[in-house]
Amino acid sequence: MERKRILFITPPYHCGVVEVAGRWIPLTFVYLAGAARDAGFEPIVYDAMTLRETHEDIIKRIEDVRPDIVATTAITSTTPDALQILENTKKINPSIRTIIGGVHPTFMFDEVLRSGVVDYVVRGEGEATMKELLLTLVH
């Protein structure tokens, strides 16, 4: 049986300050990828921010990977880009499940869910919650 794929995408947010800090691996997604693997998923981490990808690049990646789930993260300043990723995901294939986590969705979950493109919000520390959610989704 083929394992389900979850594609973790960092929003392609650029403001100048991020670039000064340098490039770094999205550690949160490394932890979440481990939780996804423990739940039987094939995790793929796509750091669109560090790669300086556009939303068009992200659309192509989603089409190429054909994930069962797309997950992203957001702080307040990256929320528009994160929601754009999930909106584009639903345009590609409405049956792809979408998940968002991070500081902004944790506190503004009602607003994020009202966007109409988010299936699940992971609030707070996501490692344990993500594994439980993914196990629930496959059964």
62: left (phi over 0), alpha (psi -120 to 50) or beta: alpha
By CB neighbour count within 10 A (0-12 exposed, 13-18 middle, 19+ buried), where does 100 fall? buried
- pLDDT for res 122: 96
Fold of 5-138: Rossmann fold (3.40.50)
Tens of pLDDT, residue by residue over 78-131, are: 999 999 999 999 999 999 999 999 999 999 999 999 999 999 999 988 988 999
- pLDDT for res 30: 92
- pLDDT for res 139: 72
Residue 66 has which token pair? Answer: 């054909």
Q: Is the pLDDT of residue 9 over 90?
A: yes
139 Cβ contact list (under 8 Å, min separation 6): none
Distances (CA, A) of 107 to 21, 71, 128: 26, 18, 18
- pLDDT for res 36: 96
Q: Does the global pTM surpass 0.85?
A: yes
Q: Considering only CA atoms, which of 18, 30, 39 is closest in space to residue 130?
A: 39
- pLDDT for res 1: 60
- pLDDT for res 138: 83
- pLDDT for res 24: 66
- pLDDT for res 4: 95
| Structural domain spans, the chain | 5-138
- pLDDT for res 18: 53
Tens of pLDDT, residue by residue over 12-71, are: 876 655 555 556 667 889 999 999 999 999 999 999 988 889 999 999 999 999 999 999
Amino acid identity, position 66: R
- pLDDT for res 2: 79
